[in-house]
Chain A
Amino acid sequence: MSERGHIPESRQREKPRADLKWIGKSMKRVEDPRLLVGKGVYTDDVNLPEMAHAAVLRSPHAHARIVSIDVSKAAALPGVLCVMTGADAAAVCDPLPTWASPPVLQPAIAHERVRHVGEAVAAVAAEDRYIAEDACELIEVEYAPLPPVVDPEEALASTGDAVLHPDRGDTNIALERKLTFGPVEEDFAAADLVIERRFRWPRSGGQPLETVGAVASYDEGSGRFTIQCNTSMYNYCGWMIADTLRVAPHKLNIVPTLAGGSFGSKMFVHKVPIIAAALARAAGQPVKFMEDRIDNTTSCDNHASDRVYYAKLALKRDGTLLSLKTRIIDDYGAYFQFGVGQHGNALSQCVGPYRINSVEVDLAAVLTNKCQQGAYRGFGSEVANFVIERLVDAAADELGMDRIALRRQNFIQPDQFPYLIPTGNMYDSGNYQAVLDETLKLADVEHWRAKQAEARAEGRHIGIGIATCQERSVFSATEFWMWNLEPGVEWTSSPDGVSVKIDPTGKAFVTLHSPFWGNSPETVAAQVLAEQLTIDPADIEITYSDTDQGLNSTGPGGSRFTVMVTGAIVGAAGKIREKLLRIAAHLMEADVRDLALEDGAVHVKGVPDMKMSIAELADKAHYYRLSMPDDLDLTSGLDATYVYDHPVTTLPDADERHMGIFYPIMGHSCHIPVVEVDIETGQVHFLHYAAVHDCGTMVNPMTLEGHIRGGTVNGIGTALFEEFRYDEAGQLTTALWTDYLIPTIKESPADIVVGHVETPSPFTEYGVKGGGEGGRMGGPPAIAAAIEDALKPLGVTIDSLPLLPSRLRALIREAQAKQA
């Protein structure tokens, strides 16, 4: 074993190959017809008899003690069924689930103290939502304000009343650690040049059209809860919800509804279903609780990375990159549900596509009076991409080198894969040169350089940016706990399961154990099973299991779904194929080794007339047990389940020399945007945008391109518009979509020219890699670079986002003042 760990053998069964019929086809999404005509069932579409509606009273203060709370007027309002305060909730619920160790306790409803604006102070169940909101206004709360903590760097020094969780000690630092991988000091000592920059990555978050919601009911007879909810991970850690509600896990069934555009923000929903369930039990009626937009933006538990970086990149005068040191202050908000899982994630690709010999990460996670962090497209790695790409640009500028040439010089070479980076994570495969070359071709950089020169002569500002970014996929749960100070939840499995059944007529049924959350789970499952069983995707029906029926499934997130469900279907279909062949061998009196499954039938090789269709064989399998050999492998039916484990994970080194392999299925992308900046107004317009991604073997190029284009616009949002901005008092000034600015078609490039390179993974079935997050991982650094390039005559440097026109104009104004 080396300093960086070891690489296990591949367990790949299905090699990538050219003669696939369904995998690689731009098949229309199976999900679309019902969704597009409004016939999908989202949580808010669920209505049960006698169902009550909940609303919460939100804290108007960022930080305060709750001195008293009087719900009598609210409880007396006609139509109100139940009012629950933090004290009431604490009597029936434990703190919410957490992966942090030591934990930071979060109540479902604030008790004694509020820690961010929008935190629920009380919940009401009423006959309708109008009455519930009227009742919230009648709750009288006396607060004693405490000092709001808003600035993450100031939070490092908080003491006394400014400490959010005094039970944890007199500090707002939730975790502070320095990890060193490789000979950092030696590499810095050997450097000719050190690039130093401070970066500021803004707090943003997923913006689902349907907010988080739950419809909960409690059956007093059986003592069981049923919760319909737009969450994921219910078949991974849904039992934690039962724990919090203080019932045994088998006394709670979570039924998934369509979860829609989560982008991570519904990865593990806990607070909303727990409030709904607690109210349902108290009210004796089913309760629907849908967050409204302000509940979601202020209290969704899924704000994203909010980081300050002090970054140093050591390199040689000839451009050889040596080492990366970062001091990071990350503003986690008021609670700490995943610990610093987002920094576990970022360790997966913090050196980018480059040969960098050593890495030091010095992290302080601070608690502030804001909504807590959770999951959002990139889960912290998108920030690492921004940092390394900005540093490489700065290094090129400092050396007077071309930004593209410096990248090319430092790329990991195609023959170096699988490649272990200093943190221990593995890059399974890649061809970064090929991706770069393809993007340069699509971007027509020479043409735009000429346009740029013409424009500059006219006093206009056109810029061309480039980012060459990693796009890690298929997380392992170790990322959630590798930074923890104390042992806690230290799971090492992160599998996904599937159930497949062929009915007596030959139709196939797939049960997925994780939800639809805006991706294409049914399309993927249909394509892969069709490939495996040589059947038509139209003959496959897809459903979703609840937790009663569920198999261990980590669910979508970390761009893992396609790889994991492909693996699970390959496993389950293999079992079914084997049984089909055995039955066929018996019925056709042939040797199994002489049989092959093709075009939906088992054939005797070389004998064209000797075949039986899957439908015929399924009929026999279900109804003709007594006509079969007395073989225990031929029991009635034709079904299989398979739980597919993470394709390649290793554990962190006990001495933390490395963190093991935890995010190895490594995609790559290159983005080249061309922008024009109006220097009088600070507005940015896209003139062209090229993005090439390598996500290994493509299952469905059309849906992948949707991910890339949508993700790129998502990245435009992060780069130019979106921010959860808190003022000095801790008020969220962008709580509504009139103020939290999501880019629309008008702010997007007219076309995002998408290209592909396919470097199959040697570790996954068919060589598939995930591609769900790459657009947002590549867009921001590329756009920042393009804007910087446009403003080169003014000498503007970009190191913080988002670049709203007013922010960019301020940078331009400063630069103009300096030049004058």
Chain B
Amino acid sequence: MKPPRFRYLRAESVDGALRALADNPDSRPLAGGQSLIAMMNLRLVRPACLVDINRVAGLGYIREDGDGVAIGALTRHNDVKHSDLVRARCPLLTEAYESIAHHTVRNRGTLGGNLCHADPSSETPAVMVAVGATLVLQSVGGRREVAAEDFFQGPYETAARQDELLVEIRLPGRGAEGWAFAEVSNRHGDFAIAVIATTLRLADGRCEAARVVASAVGEHAARLRPAEDALTGGAIDDAAIERAAEAAAGAVDPHSDSHADAVYRRDAVAALTRRTLRRAAERCG
């Protein structure tokens, strides 16, 4: 389990990293390396060149951003997990971290790397889509902002071009939104079998906005619009939750693998939708 030969470049600055990515068309940024290096060792991916951004100053931070939070792309998972600011302003992400990986992996792995890796069973993309996060991409040509919903495009596929580096993740303020995250996996910390991340906004007891986002049951984290439609405009009662759960299960087309079959995943989507909506409704206001 050794990777094929590759070139290794260590960037000292964002500009340096961007130049290296632009100059080496078959290069990839190396952040925490928790997924990339394992895949290289298995020879599943073979980048000709790695641009190591671990020593780039100024990419690891968590700070206020209006009423939201801005997180530098190189921030380690455990720093995000234990951040009071994140807990206060984006508690859905904090809750999700209870299910994400293991302590040692989180010490090294980064939120930005995790998002760019875009594993279809990853938890963080579902959270980003559910809260409506904005991802800031930068290249030698400039910066652009991409909504999380548009960022995840397929298994291990994102809107980021090869020469672009994710530099910042912006999480909007929560306002009065309710939230909940739930996952099933065979073991704690494993890649998910099914994930549901939910946000709800109520006005006068009626659902003003809902997001029901699934991961691990499709090609990428995605909103389950039929489930959202079943909620919007009405009261969040048992009947609405049941309708949404059924709609969620009907909206996914999961795969079977050694961890779980498709029927199980679909059942799990219904169960998790039910559970997260109940909790999210309780947390509104």
Mark A residues whose CB is within 8 Å of B: 129-130, 133-134, 137, 292-294, 680-683, 721, 725, 733-734, 736, 738-739, 741, 743-744, 746-747, 804-806, 809-810, 813
Does B186 contact A721, Cβ atoms closer than 8 Å?
Answer: yes
Q: Are B188 and A746 in contact (CB under 8 A)?
A: yes
Bound together, the chains give a CA A743 to CA B5 distance in angstroms of 35
- For the complex of A and B, list the 10 residue pairs with the smallest distance between their C-beta atoms, beginning with the closest: A746-B188, A806-B264, A806-B260, A680-B271, A733-B258, A292-B1, A130-B2, A133-B2, A681-B184, A739-B258
Roughly how many angstroms separate A721 CA and B259 CA in the complex, as a whole number?
Answer: 10
Which of these, A134, A721, A739, A810, contacts B263 with CB under 8 Å? A810
Beyond A134-B4, A292-B1, A733-B258, whether A746 also contacts B271 by CB under 8 A is: no
Across chains A and B, the number of contacting residue pairs, with CB separation under 8 Å, is 68
Residues of B within 8 A of A741 (CB): 186-187, 190
Known contacts A130-B2, A294-B1: does B188 contact A744 (CB below 8 Å)?
yes
Known: A130-B2, A292-B1, A680-B267. A743 touches B187 (CB 8 A): yes
Given A133-B43, A804-B186, A806-B193, 14 other A-B residues pairs in contact with their CB atoms under 8 A: A129-B2, A130-B3, A137-B4, A681-B184, A738-B190, A739-B258, A741-B186, A741-B187, A741-B190, A746-B187, A747-B187, A747-B188, A804-B259, A805-B260
B1 close to A293 (CB less than 8 A): yes
> For the complex, is B49 an interface residue (Cβ under 8 Å from A)?
no
Whether B267 lies near A809 (C-beta < 8 A) is: yes
Could you write out 5 A-B pairs with CB less than 8 Å apart? A682-B264, A746-B187, A805-B186, A805-B260, A813-B267
- CB neighbours (8 Å) of B42 from chain A are 736
Residues of B with Cβ closer than 8 Å to A? 1-5, 42-43, 184, 186-191, 193, 257-261, 263-264, 267-268, 271
State whether B5 touches A130 (Cβ < 8 A). Answer: yes
Instruction: Give CA–CA (A38, B101) in the complex, Å.
Output: 25
A800 CB to closest chain B CB (Å) equals 15
Give chain B nearest CB distance to A290 CB in angstroms.
Answer: 10
> Is there contact, CB below 8 Å, between B184 and A805?
yes
Question: Are the CB atoms of A734 and B258 closer together than 8 Å?
Answer: yes
CB distance from B216 to the nearest CB of A (A): 13
Contact at B188–A809, with CB atoms within 8 Å?
no
Q: Which residues of A contact B261 (CB under 8 A)?
A: 806, 810
Q: Which residue of A lies closest to B268 (CB)?
A: A681
What is the CB-to-nearest-CB distance from A676 to chain B, in angstroms, rounded to a whole number? 15
Shortest Cβ distance from B254 into chain A, in angstroms?
A: 11
Q: Would you give the shortest CB distance from B42 to chain A, in whole angstroms?
A: 8
With A805-B264, A806-B193, A813-B267 as known contacts, state yes or no: A683 contacts B259, CB within 8 Å.
Answer: no
The CA of A442 and the CA of B177, in the complex, are separated in Å by: 47
The answer to whether A683 and B184 touch across the interface, beta carbons within 8 angstroms, is: yes
CB B196 to nearest CB in A, in angstroms, measures 12
Q: How far is A725 from B1 in the complex, measured between Cα atoms in Å?
A: 21
Give chain A nearest CB distance to B193 CB in angstroms: 7
Bound Cα distance from A747 to B261, whole angstroms: 21
B47 to chain A, nearest CB (A): 16
Q: Tell me, rounded to whole Å, the shortest Cβ–Cβ distance linking A787 to chain B.
A: 15
Closest B-chain residue to A55, C-beta based? B2
Interface residue from B5, B191, B271 paired with A134 (Cβ < 8 Å): B5
Report Cα–Cα, A594/B128, bound state, in Å. 85
**B81 CB → nearest A CB, Å:** 16
Residue in B closest to A812 when the chains form the complex, CB atoms:
B267
Q: Please, how many angstroms separate the alpha-carbon atoms of A237 and B87 in the complex?
A: 61
Residues of B within 8 A of A682 (CB): 264
Contact of A805 among B5, B188, B193 (CB under 8 A): B193
Q: Which of B42, B190, B261, B267 neighbours the largest number of chain A CB atoms within 10 Å of its CB?
A: B267
Most buried by A among B5, B187, B191: B187
Cα separation A743 to B4 with both chains bound (whole Å): 32
Nearest-neighbour CB distance to chain B for A91, whole angstroms, equals 29
Contacts of B263 in A (CB 8 A): 810, 813
Q: Please determine whether B264 and A809 come into contact, CB atoms closer than 8 angstroms.
A: yes
CA distance A696 to B215 in the complex (A): 52
Q: Which residues of B contact A747 (CB under 8 A)?
A: 187-188
- Name the A residues within 8 Å of B5 (CB-CB): 130, 134
CA distance A697 to B134 in the complex (A): 66
Which residues from chain A contact B187 at a C-beta distance below 8 Å? 721, 741, 743-744, 746-747
What residues of B have a CB within 8 angstroms of the CB of A133 in the complex? 1-2, 4, 43
Most chain B beta carbons < 10 A, residue from A129, A681, A809: A681
Q: Can you name the residue of chain B whose Cβ is closest to the Cβ of A739?
A: B258
In the assembled complex, the Cα of A747 lies from the Cα of B3 at a distance in Å of 32
CA distance A336 to B207 in the complex (A): 65
B residues less than 8 Å from A739 (CB atoms): 258-259
Bound-state CA distance A810–B259 (Å) is 13
Q: Which of chain A's residues have a CB closer than 8 A to the CB of B184?
A: 681, 683, 805
Which residues of chain B are within 8 angstroms of A293 by Cβ–Cβ distance?
1
Q: Which residues of B contact A725 (CB under 8 A)?
A: 258
- Identity of the chain A residue whose Cβ is nearest the Cβ of B38 in the assembled complex: A738
Q: Which residues of A contact B188 (CB under 8 A)?
A: 744, 746-747
